[in-house]
């Protein structure tokens, strides 16, 4: 099977993340995970995709051993064998030969998708979250009922001339600035993911989300990846929240400058005479904090959550910094050099643009 490089890059967004320790490889007993999907009127929901994810990491599962995506060495195999099920006319779904461990189920529909939709394909710009993500315990033997979550609507826009960007919505924030890429997705962000979509021309409308605070990330799967995020976004029942997310990337329309928070970290490092990759890495090494190496065949470095969240004391009265923020400050300096070398001007930092409006009465989407 041949897949486009951009589609493989979308899969890399998940494969690049830190996977939990793999379960013992001894044969596991055959187990069924089955259930029924209903709407707010307790009527069955047909033709919905149910994605099985690892309950510990939140990563999708693939293959006959139901391994988390982060353990995959072959993206094509992982993508072709993602553990999915589809609801029938009565809303029933079934996973055969499931592992003897907890599994997280995420269910959604697309408006007028290709038949059948695949999780990382371009399936459409309208996504219905038809059920709240649910963890099925390893000892559960009864069918699980998946029910709807809310009436909030979220419209995500990220400037794009193609359909090669991925958006993920979670109830937990990322743990690193977008300039550190997939590293920020590790940990609780993926564990608490609500919904996802491969965005046609950078557009997605999520329908049926619960009210509350969500956090959104976007990833552009092209030859010059960009990342963006919008944190602490409010969703209200019966309202549409519209979010325009700027890209952190070296592109002509990308954000090249750090947020005030990261700029402050840079200033503290400069005051301590530590704002240099060589000097800073030695400073961290002297404190037994060793930077990870890129994955084989890749220049990409994925930082473990514990490392990103480690707080380091600076000399004298310079204060403290998170390792993740310090590395982000250095990464922005690298981008500054890359952008200005050919004589281009730096684009300033931009916040996401957020608007919230009540939905019209009897609001529907096609």
The pLDDT tens digits of the residues spanning 59-108 come to 999 999 999 987 767 777 888 899 999 999 999 999 999 988 999 999 99
Number of domains in the chain: 3
Q: Is residue 218 part of a domain?
A: yes
Check whether 303 has a pLDDT greater than 70.
yes
Whether 336 and 285 share a structural domain? yes
Contact 33, 93 (CB under 8 A): no
What DSSP string describes 225-261? -EEEEEEEEEE-TTEEEEEE---BSSSTTSB-S--HH
pLDDT digits 0-9 by tens, 304-359? 899 999 999 999 888 999 999 999 999 999 999 999 999 999 999 999 999 999 99
Torsion over CA: 171, 177, 182, 187 (sign)? negative
First to last CA, the chain: 33
CA distance 205 to 208: 10
What the block records as the tokens of 316 is: 């004298």
pLDDT digits 0-9 by tens, 157-192? 999 888 889 999 999 999 999 999 989 998 899 999
pLDDT of res. 138: 82
Check whether 25 has a pLDDT greater than 60.
no
Check whether 363 has a pLDDT greater than 60.
yes
pLDDT of res. 5: 45
Whether 42 and 96 share a structural domain? yes
**Mean model confidence pLDDT for the chain:** 89
| Boundary-marking domain end, from 88, 115, 147 | 147
Instruction: Look up the domain containing 231 and give its range.
Output: 150-256+347-365
pLDDT of res. 116: 85
- Give 265's pLDDT tier (boundaries 50, 70, 90): very high
CA atoms within 13 A of residue 235's CA, in its CB half-sphere = 25
Q: What is the CATH number of the domain that holds 211?
A: 2.60.40.1120
Regarding predicted confidence, which is higher, 115 or 35?
Answer: 35
Strands 212-220 and 165-170: antiparallel
Whether 59 and 171 share a structural domain? no
Three-state secondary-structure class, residue 108: strand
H-only helix segments in the chain: 5-15, 75-80, 188-191, 260-271, 277-285, 305-308, 323-340
CA distance 108 to 131: 7
pLDDT of res. 2: 39
Phi, psi of 18 (to 5 degrees): -70, 125
pLDDT digits 0-9 by tens, 191-201? 999 999 999 99
């Amino acid at each position: 099977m041949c897949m486009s490089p951009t589609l493989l890059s979308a899969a890399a967004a998940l494969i690049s993340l830190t996977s939990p320790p793999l379960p013992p490889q001894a044969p596991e007993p055959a187990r069924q995970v089955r259930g029924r999907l209903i709407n707010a009127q307790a009527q069955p929901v047909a033709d919905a995709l149910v994605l099985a994810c690892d309950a510990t990491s939140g990563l999708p599962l693939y293959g006959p051993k139901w391994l988390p995506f982060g353990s995959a060495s072959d993206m094509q195999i992982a993508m072709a064998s993602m553990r999915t099920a589809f609801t029938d006319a009565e809303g029933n779904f079934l996973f055969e030969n499931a592992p003897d461990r907890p599994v997280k189920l995420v269910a959604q529909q697309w408006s007028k998708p290709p038949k059948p939709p695949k999780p990382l394909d371009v399936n459409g710009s309208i996504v219905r979250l038809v059920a709240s993500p649910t963890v099925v315990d390893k000892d559960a033997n009864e069918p699980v009922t998946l029910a709807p979550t809310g009436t909030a609507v979220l419209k995500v826009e990220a400037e794009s001339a193609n359909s090669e960007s991925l958006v993920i919505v979670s109830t937990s924030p990322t743990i690193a600035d977008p300039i550190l890429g997939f590293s920020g997705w590790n940990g609780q962000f993926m564990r608490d993911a609500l919904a996802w979509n491969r965005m046609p021309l950078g557009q997605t409308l999520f329908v049926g989300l619960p009210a509350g605070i969500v956090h959104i990330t976007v990833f552009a799967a092209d030859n010059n990846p960009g990342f963006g995020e919008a944190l602490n976004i409010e969703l209200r029942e019966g309202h549409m929240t519209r979010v325009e997310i700027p890209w952190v990337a070296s592109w002509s329309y990308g954000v090249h400058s750090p947020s005030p928070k990261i700029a402050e970290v840079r200033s503290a490092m400069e005051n301590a005479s530590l704002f240099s990759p060589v000097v800073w890495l030695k400073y961290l090494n002297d404190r037994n904090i060793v930077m990870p190496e890129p994955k084989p065949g890749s220049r990409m470095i994925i930082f473990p959550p514990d490392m990103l969240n480690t707080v380091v004391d600076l000399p004298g009265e310079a204060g403290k910094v998170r390792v993740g923020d310090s590395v982000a400050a250095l990464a922005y300096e690298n981008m500054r050099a890359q952008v200005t070398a050919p004589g281009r001007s730096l684009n300033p930092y931009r916040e996401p643009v957020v608007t919230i409006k009540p939905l019209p009465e009897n609001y529907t989407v096609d």
